[in-house]
Chain A
Amino acid sequence: MENGCRSIWKVPMVSETKVTIKNLYKIFGKDPAGMINHVQNGTTKQELLEKYGSVLALNDVNIDIPARGIQVIMGLSGSGKSTLIRHVNRLIEPTSGEIIVGGQNVLGMSKLELREFRRHTASMVFQRFALLPHHTIVENVSYGLTIQNVPKQEAAERSQQWIDKVGLAGYEKHYPNQLSGGMQQRVGLARALATDAEILLMDEAFSALDPLIRTDMQDVLLSLQEELHKTILFITHDLDEALRIGENIAILRDGLVVQKGTPQEIVLNPADKYVTDFIKDINRGRVVQVSSIMDSKKLKNGPEIESNMILEDALQIISNAELSEAIVTENGKNIGSVKLGRMISAIARPSEKTGQITNYR
């Protein structure tokens, strides 16, 4: 069994930033601009609500989203994550801050520029699908193109290819209500992809689906991503989902980013108690890679394990070989070894903060 979902990590990471969110504040209520001073002087969300009746939705959010990668924003309900994603295409206006997409300041755009931006640069997938109930599937998928005044015939042809890609061929003439939730979200995904926008904003896109369908949709997304390399901003409240699809994760709490990092960084080095509580119950074997627990001792023989393999798969190899040690390789080169006992203790739920990351990018 190849470590399927991890394989996208093998795509060489380009560290070019596509979307920059800088010092973003959002306050709902009266006189939001005036409230910023209070927040900057250390007033907490709770105090702001009690004293001034204003809701602090986003508090000095700074995130750099790399191009062609999947950035996950994770947080519980009320943490401001859905508010945050709506700032990227300005469905919500910020109280202060900057959002720069491909060198262009979204907040400085005129109405028309913003419309063009939404049409061609960033498209969105919604939690409850938000399909047009009075349009057929093919009309829904081509909606973005219709908005751009692409001729009907051409729009239908371009949409068809996306309908096929998400596995909905044969349902073109159906109405959204005739499809199950999972299928409706495939339509939502195809609709967002059909405009060929570079940026995909996914607002809890799979949260309304039941667990099996959700995993299914994650697979669909990951396999599409292998081919398309979009810049994806993915919002979720589900840590397993975040770890599974995110290359980078930012954890949001009460509008504040509490930790940013790769799934592995977050699992191995939770920034605070909030994150620790979050990761308590997750399957660490599926996140931690061999490279983070290997040592530099070179072995002569033994089974070979790729350094970026996750522990779950590595354990399979080492136990099949009935040995307690394995060679760690990177690009075919022997770079060290890993012990079975070390792997097991890395998977075990930590009693306190675990660290000891050696070979770590």
Chain B
Amino acid sequence: MSWFEKIPTMDRQELRDFKKYVDISFKDFSRTYGDGIETFFDPLLYFLVWFEKLLINAPWPLIIFVIAIMAWVGSRSWLVVSGTVCSFIVIGYFGMWEDTMSTLAIISICTLLCISIGIPIGIFMSRSDRLQSMVNPVLDVMQTIPSFVYLIPVVMLLGIGKVPGLIAVFIYALPPIVRLTNLGIRLVDKEVLEASESFGASYSQKLFGVQIPLALPNIFAGVNQTIMMALAMVVIASMIGVKGLGVPVLRAVSNQYLALGMLNGLAIVALAIIFDRISQSFGKRMQKHLESSHGV
């Protein structure tokens, strides 16, 4: 009855061999293909470096001005605009300007990547139940697996640097936009779609004329979530060599610098709130036609 008291386990030797086997084959893989994969990501790296330099080297009033305009376009609210400008001035005043710009660069590029890859995936998912049932578990894994775990193979493949950091952030931030695009399109009123079909709309006319516009509020909620998730990953990304607000936080943690940690942490929070408000109110304004009920 020993099997009843103790769960059957693999032989220790076998387990060790198994782990060794996996490690060695991955090492072989990364030795063979690592360089190739790195060159594949080179354009991304150049772009990231270029964009970061652009943000850091541009005169600070210009940056604040551009961000204020974005805030205005997104929210149409003076409160949000002035809050944004104040936050950035305070961030600069406390000497975190450069780190903030680095973070801004990686967040922007990651969000762009997620949008350009996540929305098409979401669209395909909404078209096929089969694909949905295949992609969903993958998204679950991406969201729940501890980031350190997938950092190991990424670092083994690409080493320490900006690109692995970006990939780590990307993996974590992609799921919401895929999910919400898929959901948004599936939630589009079947009758409206049928009406569009009854007038002889082609596939692309249905997709771009009806499904995506009506799914936009949900898609925007996805973009918003993606930005938030990306910001949440900044500290972890800094562990593998991504510059930005995460680096001082990491230093503060290991050296018990309370003020440094607080200041940089709050700067991340400020960025999060600004992006959240801007993207949310933009999403809300897009469904303005739904707000005004009849009887006017």
Q: A: which residues have CB within 8 A of B?
A: 89, 91, 114-120, 123-124, 126, 128, 130-134, 143-144, 146-148, 175-180, 183, 191, 195, 201
Contacts and interface: CB of A to CB of B under 8 A. Distances in A.
Given A117-B200, A134-B214, A180-B295, A175 B289 contact: yes
Given A117-B200, A118-B199, A119-B199, A126 B296 contact: no
A131 B195 CA distance: 8
Interface of B: 189, 191-192, 194-202, 205, 209-210, 213-214, 289-296
A124 B202 CA distance: 16
Given A91-B194, A126-B191, A128-B191, A133 B290 contact: yes
A152 to B, nearest CB: 13
A195 B201 CA distance: 13
B293 A177 contact: yes
A175 B214 CA distance: 14
A115 B200 contact: yes
Given A118-B197, A131-B195, A133-B214, 17 more contacts: A91-B197, A118-B200, A120-B200, A124-B198, A124-B199, A130-B191, A133-B289, A134-B213, A134-B214, A147-B199, A147-B200, A148-B200, A177-B289, A177-B293, A178-B293, A179-B294, A180-B295
Contact of A132 (B192, B197, B200): B192
9 contacts: A91-B194, A124-B199, A126-B195, A143-B199, A147-B201, A175-B292, A178-B293, A178-B294, A180-B294
Q: Which 9 A-B pairs have the closest CB atoms?
A: A118-B200, A119-B200, A130-B195, A130-B191, A175-B289, A124-B198, A144-B199, A115-B200, A134-B213
Contacts of A144: 199-200
A91 B201 CA distance: 12
A327 B202 CA distance: 60
Contacts of B294: 177-180, 183
Contacts of A177: 289-294
A123 B201 CA distance: 12
Given A132-B210, A133-B289, A115 B202 contact: yes
Contacts of B202: 115, 147
Contacts of A175: 289, 292
Contacts of A116: 200
A205 B199 CA distance: 16
Contact of A130 (B189, B291, B293, B295): B189
* B195, B205, B289, B295: most-surrounded residue (chain A CB, <10 A): B195
B192 A147 contact: no
A124 B292 contact: no
